[in-house]
Amino acid sequence: MTSERKIHTLIIGAGTTGLLIAQGLKYAGLPYSLFEQETSQTYLTRPREWGMTLHWGSSHISRCLPPELEARMSETYADPTLSPDAVTGLPVYNGKTGELILEMKAERPCRVSRRKMRSLFSEGLDVQYGKEVVGIVEEGEKVRVRFKDGSEVVGDVVAGCDGARSRVRECIVGEERARLTEVPLSIFNFTQRFSREQALYLREKNPLFTKSIHPDHGTLFWLSIQDVPDPAKPETWLFQLLISWVDNPLPDSENNYAGRLAYLRKLSENWAEPWKSAGLWVKDDTKIPMDPGTYWEKASRWDNRGGKMTLCGDAAHPMTPHRGQGLNNALQDASNFVSAIQDVDSGKRSLEEAVSEYDKEVLERGVLEMQISLKQTMLIHNWQTLMASPMVKMGMHQAKKEDEDKVH
């Protein structure tokens, strides 16, 4: 038995999550409209780029992407020439001595490019750009979204996929409850190209990624390959560098591009190789951004207005990055949401039943992972507590209810 009308989903946010939901709905023959706050120009030319670690969440991609796009997933890899089983986990080193501490286990980990994944996932989709949400209201069995440009759209359900600082989350739970909590964390996260000899040297330890933690001050230094345009020309390779620490913010007078670069070089002087050289080789004109760590501490059951409003991805569970779980959880959100709407379309469940069940699972899984990722962030930046971190106790595998006792 099928319902008389197709459920029309309004997807807010054309990041990885929103795009995958749109692909899944389109492949299932279900209507959607996809809106992105950025203009088409800024969306495509955004200067910042970074990688994400894809591991247990990869199975959810195949449930949404049509086969012809799924077959091209290697196009999203940081280095498409690497075999899927090239690495078995993330090696973690002593940043002072260069000794291997442990390997953080993962399910066939690979690094994917945020930009490349968006490019593949957006193929064949109609994205409406320059659409900044200013309000969402119920209208009987429908929901109306208003945009800053004066336009409006009506549909059956809104899926908020608009990132950690989600406007849809504010509309659903209110500005105060939607507010993020800042963690006492400072993050440098940027990309860099090096000379041929330098690039080859930086990948000697591991072709994909390495992480080191300095015992003297607990600072973390991540180094990974971000893009390999030409495998035969190492000078074209792009690397991602991420340096993070807690409880020691830069003074305002040094929290600028020149000050951050000087701080990075000062730190790097006392690092083991190859991180020492990576830091010292960063070019003089590099503009290093500074990011805080945030999560949604006030996350709790939200009123989905009878199944008409929900959240997905970073809008539902923004988390600190040190366990590599954000992308994988977002992919599961996307496939779960598509499955829920398919159930409504086939008459298995009402919209309210399907979305409420989706919400319950997303919230439970998201809160658990936000807590575990936060614990990971705080413990790994302190040499004395490093070995008690989730990284050591459970690796990168998906958090389950029984993992709660491992982080308390």
Tokens (6 digits) for 323: 């366990």
Model confidence pLDDT, tens digit, residues 284-329: 999 999 999 999 999 999 999 999 999 999 999 999 998 888 999 9
pLDDT given for residue 50 in this prediction: 86
Sign of the CA dihedral 121, 316, 399, 294?
A: positive
Maximal C-alpha separation, the chain: 68
pTM: 0.93
pLDDT given for residue 394 in this prediction: 64
Residue 298 phi, psi dihedral angles, 5° rounding = -90, 15
pLDDT given for residue 139 in this prediction: 94
Q: What angle do CA 66, 69, 75 make, to 5 degrees?
A: 155
Q: Is 337 helix (H, G, I), strand (E, B) or coil?
A: helix
Tokens (6 digits) for 345: 């379309």
pLDDT given for residue 4 in this prediction: 60
Taking only the tens of pLDDT, the chain with its 408 residues reads 344 679 999 999 999 999 999 999 999 999 999 999 999 888 877 778 888 888 888 889 999 999 999 999 999 999 999 887 788 888 999 999 999 998 887 777 789 999 999 999 999 999 999 999 999 999 999 999 999 999 999 999 999 999 999 999 999 999 999 999 999 999 999 999 999 999 999 999 999 999 999 999 999 999 999 999 999 999 999 999 999 999 999 999 999 999 999 999 999 999 999 999 999 999 999 999 999 999 999 999 999 999 999 999 999 999 999 888 899 999 999 999 999 999 999 999 999 999 999 999 999 999 999 999 999 999 999 988 888 887 776 655 566 666 666 555
Q: Is 53 helix (H, G, I), strand (E, B) or coil?
A: strand
Q: What is the dihedral of CA 94, 98, 102, 107, to 10 degrees?
A: 110
Closest CA to 366 of 284, 298, 305, 306: 298
pLDDT given for residue 397 in this prediction: 59
Contact 84, 110 (CB under 8 A): yes
CA distance 223 to 92: 11
Instruction: Determine how β-strand 51-54 pairs with β-strand 133-139.
Output: unpaired
CA distance 173 to 168: 9
Instruction: Determine how β-strand 309-311 pairs with β-strand 157-160.
Output: parallel
CA distance 389 to 74: 32
Closest CA to 203 of 220, 235, 222, 225: 225
pLDDT given for residue 338 in this prediction: 98
Instruction: Determine how β-strand 142-147 pairs with β-strand 110-113.
Output: unpaired
Closest CA to 276 of 228, 243, 237: 243
CA distance 279 to 272: 11
Amino acid occupying residue 54 = L
- Give Cα 120 to chain centroid, integer Å: 16
**Averaged confidence pLDDT in the chain:** 92
CA distance 239 to 78: 9
pLDDT given for residue 406 in this prediction: 54
CA distance 312 to 353: 17
94: left (phi over 0), alpha (psi -120 to 50) or beta: beta
Q: What angle do CA 111, 237, 87 make, to 5 degrees?
A: 35
